Amino acid sequence: MKTIIIIASIFALCSICFAEETEYYDWKGSKLYAAGNYSGALEYFNTAVAQDQNYIDAWLHKAETQRALRSYNESLATYDIAISLAPNKAAGYTGKSSVYSLLKDYANASKYMSEALRIEPANKGNLFTMGNYMQSLNRFGDSIVYYDNATALDPSYKDAIYRKGVSLMVIGNLDGAISAYSSVLSLDPKYKQAYNAMGVALEAEGRYEEAQAAYDKALEQDPAYPQAISNKMQVLLALKKNEEAMSYFMKT
Number of domains in the chain: 1
Q: Which residues, at least 6 apart from 244, have a Cβ–Cβ distance to it below 8 Å?
A: 236
For residue 252, the model assigns a pLDDT of 62
Q: Are 215 and 236 in contact (CB under 8 A)?
A: no
For residue 245, the model assigns a pLDDT of 76
Give dist(CA 124, CA 91) in Å, integer. Answer: 14
Domain-located, residue 66: yes
Domain-located, residue 180: no
Give dist(CA 80, CA 75) in Å, integer. Answer: 9
Domain-located, residue 215: no
Give dist(CA 99, CA 82) in Å, integer. Answer: 14
User: CA nearest 195: which of 225, 238, 175, 170?
Assistant: 225
How is residue 104 annotated by DSSP? T
Helix (H, G, I), strand (E, B) or coil at 114: helix
Domain-located, residue 147: no
Domain-located, residue 81: yes
User: CA nearest 112: which of 124, 128, 125, 130?
Assistant: 130
For residue 248, the model assigns a pLDDT of 65
Domain-located, residue 248: no
For residue 227, the model assigns a pLDDT of 94
Note down the domain range covering 90: 9-100
Say which CATH number the domain at 68 has: 1.25.40.10
For residue 8, the model assigns a pLDDT of 42
Domain-located, residue 87: yes
Full pLDDT tens readout for the chain, 252 residues = 555 444 444 444 444 445 568 889 999 899 999 999 999 999 999 999 999 999 999 999 999 999 999 999 999 999 999 999 999 999 999 999 999 999 999 999 999 999 999 999 999 999 999 999 999 999 999 999 999 999 999 999 999 999 999 999 999 999 999 999 999 999 999 999 999 999 999 999 999 999 999 999 999 999 999 999 999 999 999 988 887 777 766 656
* CA dihedral angle for residue 118, residue 119, residue 123, residue 125, rounded to 10 degrees: -70
How is residue 29 annotated by DSSP? H
Q: How many CB atoms lie within 10 A of CB 149?
A: 18
For residue 41, the model assigns a pLDDT of 94
For residue 77, the model assigns a pLDDT of 98
* CA 157 to chain CA mean position, Å: 14
Domain-located, residue 181: no
| pTM (two decimals) | 0.87
